[in-house]
Homo-oligomer: A and B are copies of this chain.
Amino acid sequence: MSSVFMQEISWQEFKAKKEDAVIILPVGSTEQHGPMLPLSVDAIISTGLAKMIAEEIGGLVAPTVCYGYKSAPLSGGGPLFPGTLDLNGATLTALVSDILEELIRDGVKKIFVMNGHFENEAFILEAIDLLSRKYEDVTFIESSWWDQISDEVMDKVFDEVPFPGWALEHAAIAETSMTMYFRPDLVHMERFIEDGVDEELGYSIYPASKCKVPETGLLATARTSSKEKGKLLAEDITAHYAAILKDRM
């Protein structure tokens, strides 16, 4: 069986599948994820999940958007950490829009955008909304992976440590576990340091330097992360999206 990744197949292989298949576009970021995780965690997870979902439903995965919208201090550490490379909102919207429009011009009718970076969502939806007015016969679904986890799985993942809320779950147990599952070679738990934020502010403040973020860039603990938890999460999320895509497209 040929690869589900568009970048690994020829145009003829793509052509053979494009009419009926769901095309999945993973969108990640290049963003600090603490001392023990690589800058591409959001791309790794969204790509890994997209591959599993594509294999499940007979879809294809377009090349991952590996730069995302601006990291906010209290959901990603923010722009003050070197290595975080953020796009402006208009750029991300244009990029996603161009990619999806090209797919549509190729005859694709079913598009799923798999988001892996919290701050991306509004700018991805803007692209989809504007395209949707123009291409009324195309179905678009967009979702962030943390919106499709079973309560039972959540309980197992947060078995020892309480769930801090998704805004603070940055480089924490869920992301670390899934990175361990998808790219174990890139996780260095020996560099992990306990760190975190006490509570969300409930407002945004600029300049960013006025917002106290832990020095490590960790907003909540990653202790108790494991490859097994990563597998549990990935399989649960995959099952949910496979069901949604089969049902709605």
Contact = CB atoms under 8 A, between A and B. Distances in A.
A34 B10 contact: yes
Interface residues of A, number: 85
Given A132-B208, A139-B210, A147-B203, A191 B67 contact: no
Oligomeric state, in copies: 6
A10 B36 contact: yes
- Of A34, A106, A207, A248, most buried by chain B (CB within 10 Å of CB) is A207
Interface string A1-25: 0000011111110110010000000
A232 to B, nearest CB: 18
B39 A7 contact: yes
A83 interface: yes
Contacts of A205: 139-141, 248
Nearest to A88: B98
A147 B188 CA distance: 36
A53 interface: no
Contacts of A99: 67, 85, 87
10 contacts: A6-B40, A6-B83, A18-B82, A43-B63, A66-B66, A67-B98, A79-B102, A141-B204, A147-B203, A205-B248
Given A67-B98, A202-B240, 9 more contacts: A9-B83, A10-B36, A10-B191, A11-B32, A11-B34, A63-B66, A63-B85, A82-B107, A89-B123
Interface of A: 6-12, 14-15, 18, 30, 32-40, 43, 62-64, 66-67, 69-70, 72, 79, 81-91, 93-95, 97-99, 102-103, 105-107, 119, 121-123, 125-126, 128-130, 132, 136, 139-143, 147-148, 186, 188, 191, 202-208, 210, 217, 240, 244, 248
